[in-house]
Structure 1
């Protein structure tokens, strides 16, 4: 194991991430209708053209009143009308008058308070009485109190999530300038994929990598094309030659090590890709390969993942996300958290990403390692909610602090 970790030419996790974040060129910018902007990264800041609220309105169902009195308890007001939400009429109240108003209704001019209906007694069709005291300007949403016209709503680089989309929609934003969505092809290499249970008897295995990557990329917000090809140099070369002109990213699984049937790297070179790095001092995922093809203004990046599914999953969470983010001009570091181990951990010659379960106990984030951490095993992903980064060549004890990233998919 020490020999594996001491292999020459390996780069660190931080070096690999830095190369992705600095070498990758951002994609072009496009204009999209707001409704199609979910999961996209903004290429231009967004400013509001309107005030929010755009007019002063009632925060409750009740009565808008005008009173010059300081103490309103037991005061009687004359009801002179009704205002529904969406009514565009302009009303004005005289001292001692009230209007029935509903949540979101436009506040009449000269309104001093809004009395919620729970503190109002209806004396007759035309009169009400307040049974509690009210503070001035109670339950009024004032023009521009949330957002003022010209105010920045979203900044360059911000990801449009559901909340952002709703907030921008409320402000009347119709379109967004965003970075183009990466076009991604996934190439599953190998002759060992089983189609049926009977195939297992022939030494084949069910494919986890294809469904894993398809689902991961869909969760990220990208539709992806999945291809399966045999471990044959000619097929791999033809595949790369075809894909490099039409995609921004090619993700492969398997074929990146030094075996007799590992054709991804030599075939990448044959089709014009230039290596950015190969082999990272980490576990799982050591033979990770990253390369770039450039032709005029087009760039295609090849992320060669190992074949073992746990290594595929870990590398996508760390490096796949960094690559797709960088293509959309997002180059910030991962959001590492700190937590405390609940058990001892043996040392290893390579830095490790362990699948763990994080939970809070008495205000502290605790980290429980899970069994079956080998790179060909996935069953512990049923319980894992984070990847924890374990330093190399250090034995860790219960209670020690380590860093990790939460996984949400």
Structure 2
């Protein structure tokens, strides 16, 4: 069989994502939108703050009456405003978050005030100022775009949504996923694993990676290296938005995922990407359903899921920028020249620099678990010395927790 040349990474990612259409939008309660992405820009339905507020405890007075002393004629507390303009020589007690009195006012910090009975005066430590007033609309105004389409709703975005006057949001549906790991060597029970077997860990790993970006995950496997078994597993996943397979995507006698997909009616979009680890990546479609075929080596499976599966899930969920964010970081130790494929080097954080972990084999799970980032080394890149800037991707791997 003549193998297709592996595609460059950027070309493969661009080809995949150019074909993705976000799933349909629906309106849900704002507090149920966590993890979902906005289907349209969110415009503020109110102004925040709606009035001038004090940012500190103290006393408020007119802006043209700053020498004192002043007679304290009332109070403004959060939720309980003082409702008239102040006259010359008048002040009110004001609390953090409380409305300033009507008119052009300033405030005297509590620590700069001396009070005796109903009279307050300067104590010589500071004067009335507008510096500690939060002006109406300083955060946002009615009609402002506060969140762009495609933004993922997290705790801060939820708080902003509610503050902007919205109890509901229009968000994209999250994709459903089936995870299928295959291989005769896989033992489903890690506590009962014979010497010729390995525990089936890839399916759990991929499900955990995908969980924040999916509505549901169906685990299928481990499936033996038999065409009919793989076809039966694919049938069980026929109603999901995405299928991800692990193992069986290469060219060996027992690598049956590609022929199974073709027999099942899927069309192979591309196969093999010029990266290390993870070259035998496969992307296929069956109608609107996507299939991502990942290598069986666990590090290869992890890296290709990071670079292809997660961006696909994000794009289906409405993300405008679904690829992982590339960071510029400095090396804490030298790295050798890269080979003829883009390489992803597992690394840990040492101070503010990245140091590659010692073991880079694609089966080394202990090294992967210690890694906090992937260093991207372009094909044929020269050696890089300590302190050199490199492109890197941060991993939410739990290693630094």
- Do Structure 1 and Structure 2 share a fold, with TM-score over 0.5? yes
Matched, 1:209 2:209: no
Describe how 1:6-405 pairs up with structure 2 within 5 A: 8-66=4-62, 68-70=64-66, 72=67, 75-87=68-80, 90-110=83-103, 112-124=105-117, 126-132=118-124, 133-195=126-188, 199-220=192-213, 222-228=215-221, 229-244=223-238, 246-294=239-287, 299-330=288-319, 332=321, 333-341=323-331, 342-359=333-350, 366-399=353-386, 401-405=389-393
Determine the C-alpha separation between the residues in 1 that align with 2:291 and 2:215. Answer: 17
1:112 Cα offset (Å):
2.0
Contact 1:340 1:398 in 2 (8 A): no
How far apart are the structure 2 equivalents of 1:382 and 1:257? Answer: 25
Structure 2 distance, partners of 1:198, 1:81, is: 72
Cα-to-partner distance string for 1:360-408 (whole Å, 9 max, x where unaligned): 65xxxx4321111111112123432211122334541425543222222
Q: Cα distance, 1:53 vs. partner?
A: 0.3
How far is 1:195 from its partner? Answer: 4.9
1:271-326 deviation per Cα after TM superposition (whole angstroms, max 9, x unaligned) = 221111111122111111110111xxxx1100111111111110111111221122
Measured in 2, the distance between the counterparts of 1:53 and 1:273 equals: 54
Contact 2:220 2:233 in 1 (8 A): no
Which residue number corresponds to residue 3 of structure 1?
none
Distance (Å, rounded) in 2 between the aligned partners of 1:338 and 1:87: 50
Native 8 Å contact 1:349 1:393 kept in 2: yes
- Provide closer, same or farther for how the CA distance between residues 23 and 196 of structure 1 changes in structure 2, counting only shifts above 3 A: closer
Relative distance call for 1:221 and 1:94 in structure 2 (3 A) is farther
Q: Tell me the distance in 2 between the aligned counterparts of 1:214 and 1:323.
A: 14
Separation in structure 1 between the aligned mates of residue 210 and residue 119 of structure 2, nearest angstrom: 62
Give the Cα separation in 1 of the matches to 2:214 and 2:234.
24
SS at match of 1:250: strand
Is the CA contact (8 Å cut-off) linking 2:81 and 2:98 kept in structure 1? no
- Any idea what the Cα deviations from partners look like across 1:63-118, whole Å, max 9, x if unmatched? 22236335x2xx22111122221115623322111112211112222352222211
Equivalence for 2:394: 406
More divergent stretch after superposition (6-15 vs 253-262): 6-15
Q: 1:21 to 1:180 in 2, by over 3 A?
A: same
Query: In structure 1, what is the Cα distance between the partners aligned to 2:285 and 2:104?
Result: 66
Q: Distance in 2 between matches of 1:170 and 1:60?
A: 21
**Partner Cα separation in structure 1 for residue 82 and residue 240 of structure 2:** 55
CA contact (8 A) 2:344 2:374 kept: yes
Aligned CA distance change for structure 1 residues 261 and 278 (closer, same or farther; 3 Å): same
C-alpha distance in 1, partners of 2:227/2:85?
A: 82
Deviates more, 1:234-243 or 1:193-202: 193-202
Tell me the TM-score normalized by structure 2: 0.89
Residues 1-36 of structure 1: per-residue CA shift (max 9 Å, x gap): xxxxx9652211112111111122221111122112
C-alpha contact (below 8 Å) 1:20/1:326 kept by paired residues: no
Q: For residues 382 and 261 of structure 1, what CA distance do their matches in structure 2 show?
A: 28
